[in-house]
């Protein structure tokens, strides 16, 4: 025999059973178990595939509701004896189990049987199912909406601090602009991690090339500028002319004798 189930749900569940004869592939007759009693399927025929069938045999399966008992409080939001207790404040939609007051779900930001616990650190929202972080100084996010009330840690911005700094910005809440001479800076501390524009050097590319060097990463050597002056730090030209014996914009060409 195979058992078929019918379930009634109303702040609890109640099960009605019928049985099916597998040998005949036909249903058998069974009444609802009144007051939670358990009745057998006395008319279920198992294994018999041909007439004669026993008296009272039927091809139909019936669930007869002789009595239906519905329990609940007349006013939502209450539970217990005489419905005299209010459901916990953080129950979702104010609903709780009418017997013991456990919540049937919590409002955003709370958890536990009675929804009296805030979400754990690093989580927020409905059933505390969302992750959060990157709040400034390691502070926890708002357990309800995930926002960071005191701003974001270095490298992040947005209400929930879940967005990385855009190119060219760095620091807390991404409010600091990378140095203009950076090719691109580290979004956390502003270091020019991909190097500097031609003519500049230093962690933040704030220093012009010197020492008779110029160009990308200050790797090109200046020519023979007048009075051994520094050439232009970006393009290497000698701005005040060349030393004796040299000519051209870069003062690297000598005169023929």
Closest to 41 in 3D by CA, of 20, 12, 68, 71: 20
DSSP summary character for residue 244: T
Residue % of the chain over a pLDDT of 90: 61
pLDDT digit string, tens, across residues 92-108 = 999 999 999 999 999 99
Domain borders along the chain are: 1-71, 78-118, 223-257
Q: Which of 14-23, 28-37, 48-57, 150-159 is least confident? A: 28-37
Output the 3-class SS for 124-179: ECHHHCEECCCEHHHCCCCCCCCCCCCCECECEECCCCCEECCCCEECECCCEECC
The pLDDT, as a whole number, for residue 73 is 86
Under the banding of pLDDT at 50, 70 and 90, the label for residue 40 is very low
How many whole angstroms separate alpha carbon 52 and alpha carbon 75? Answer: 56
Please say if the pLDDT value at position 22 is more than 90.
no
The full length of the chain comes to 257
Q: How many C-beta atoms surround the C-beta of residue 223 within 10 A? A: 21
Rounded alpha-carbon distances, angstroms, from residue 203 to 43, 51, 53, 183, 199 = 89, 96, 95, 12, 14
Query: Model's pTM, two decimal places?
Result: 0.59
pLDDT digit string, tens, across residues 41-80 = 544 544 555 666 666 666 555 556 667 677 788 888 999 9
The pLDDT, as a whole number, for residue 193 is 82
| Token pair listed for 250 | 């870069």
């Amino acid at each position: 025999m195979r058992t078929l189930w019918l379930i009634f749900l109303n702040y609890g569940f109640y099960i009605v059973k019928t049985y099916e004869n597998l040998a005949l592939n036909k249903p058998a007759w069974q009444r609802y178990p009144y007051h939670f009693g358990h009745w057998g399927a006395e008319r279920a025929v198992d294994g018999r595939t041909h007439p004669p069938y026993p008296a009272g045999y039927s091809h139909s399966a019936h669930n007869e509701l002789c009595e239906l008992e519905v329990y609940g409080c007349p006013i939502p939001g209450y539970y217990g004896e005489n419905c005299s207790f209010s459901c916990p404040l953080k129950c979702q939609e104010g609903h709780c189990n009418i017997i013991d007051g456990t919540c049937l779900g919590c409002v955003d930001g709370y958890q536990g049987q009675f929804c009296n616990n805030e979400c754990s650190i690093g989580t927020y929202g409905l059933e505390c199912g969302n992750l959060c972080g990157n709040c400034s100084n390691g502070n926890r996010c708002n357990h309800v909406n995930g926002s960071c009330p005191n701003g974001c840690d270095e490298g992040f911005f947005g209400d929930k601090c879940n967005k990385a700094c855009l190119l060219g910005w760095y620091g807390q809440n991404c409010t600091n602009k990378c140095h203009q001479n950076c090719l691109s800076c580290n979004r956390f501390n502003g270091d020019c991690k991909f190097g500097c524009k031609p003519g500049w050097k230093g962690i933040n590319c704030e220093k012009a090339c010197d020492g008779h060097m110029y160009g990308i990463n200050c790797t090109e050597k200046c020519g023979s500028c007048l009075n051994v002056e520094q050439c232009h730090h970006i393009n290497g030209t000698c701005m005040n002319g060349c030393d004796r014996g040299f000519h051209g914009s870069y003062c690297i060409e000598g005169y023929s004798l």
